Every structure is written in C-alpha cells, then in structure tokens.
Amino acid sequence: MTLNQQKTTEKDSIIVEFSTMHRLKLSKDGCGDLIIKGKKYVGSRPEDACHIFEGYSTGLGVSLNFKSAKRWNRARRTLQDAGAQLHQNGDMDGIFVFNPADKPQVALVMSFVRPRQKRILSDDQRRVLADRMAVARNKKAA
C-alpha cells in the first residue's frame, strides 16, 4: 500500500465512522471524495450544497452556504461560540472545522447542514414495503 492510498483509507474511515454513528447518507463530490451532503442547496453540484467533509487533521470540515449575509453571519457567530474553528470566511458562505466528538458542535453542524438520515426499518415495515414494491413491479410488467 502506498502512502497516498494509506492517507485515503484513513481519511475515508473518519467520515465513514461519523456517518455510521449518526446514520447519515454518504455521497461523492465531483472529485470522488466522500461527503455528507445536506438538504440546503445553493447550486447544481453536490459540493455546492452545505456538506460535511474530511480534510483536516483537527477534525471534520463543514461547508456552509447561505442565501443572505445575515444568515451566514449568525451561523458563523453561533459556531464560533460553540468552539468550532473558522477556516474560510466569505460573504455568504464559509468553512468551519469542528470536533466530531464534541456533541454541542455536532448538534449545531447538523442543524445547519440538515443531512439526510438513513431510515431504520423494523421487520414489519420492511415486509410492507417489499409487498408494495412487488405490486408496483407486477403493474409495470403487465
């Protein structure tokens, strides 16, 4: 294993562990890096949305994009008060580095990014959905 492959494996493991712990959906950005995409979209690319990514040795990064400077400044002050480190400050967007082990920081980041959570289905729910899909497939085939 080369040094570059080892870094990629270590980098992916932190974000994979974080997404597994919080039941979050992982996606890939334009470069193929793993990100946890949020629901708030500003542009057409996955990395244009608010998202959580791995790339800093001190913790995970969060990219926040807002439609107004007022919302960005309020979010910036809130995250700085919680102890997250401001890495890049723009007019209506920026990047913070937060500690994934710090629960208040994680709660704030989750409230701003609003990532998609994976559903956990019971056996009954899984059976009902499987039956519903079987009916839909039979209708489509007929």
The 10s digit of each residue's pLDDT in 54-96 is 988 888 999 999 888 999 999 999 999 999 999 999 999 999 9
Q: How far apart are CA 106 and CA 84, in angstroms?
A: 10
Separation CA 76–CA 69 (nearest Å): 10
| pLDDT bucket at 3, cuts 50 / 70 / 90 | very low
Return the axis-axis angle of helices 69-82 and 103-113, rounded to nearest 10°: 170
- To the question of pTM greater than 0.85 for the whole model, the response is no
**Bigger pLDDT: 26 vs 140:** 26
In the structure, what pLDDT confidence band is assigned to residue 4 with cuts at 50, 70 and 90?
very low
Question: Over the stretch 13-50, which tens digit does the pLDDT of each residue have?
Answer: 789 999 999 999 898 888 888 999 888 666 667 667 88
Report whether 76 contacts 86 (CB < 8 A).
yes
Domain of residue 74, residue span: 3-141
Question: What is the model's pLDDT at position 1?
Answer: 41
Instruction: Provide the domain count of the chain.
Output: 1
**Domain CATH for 9:** 3.30.1460
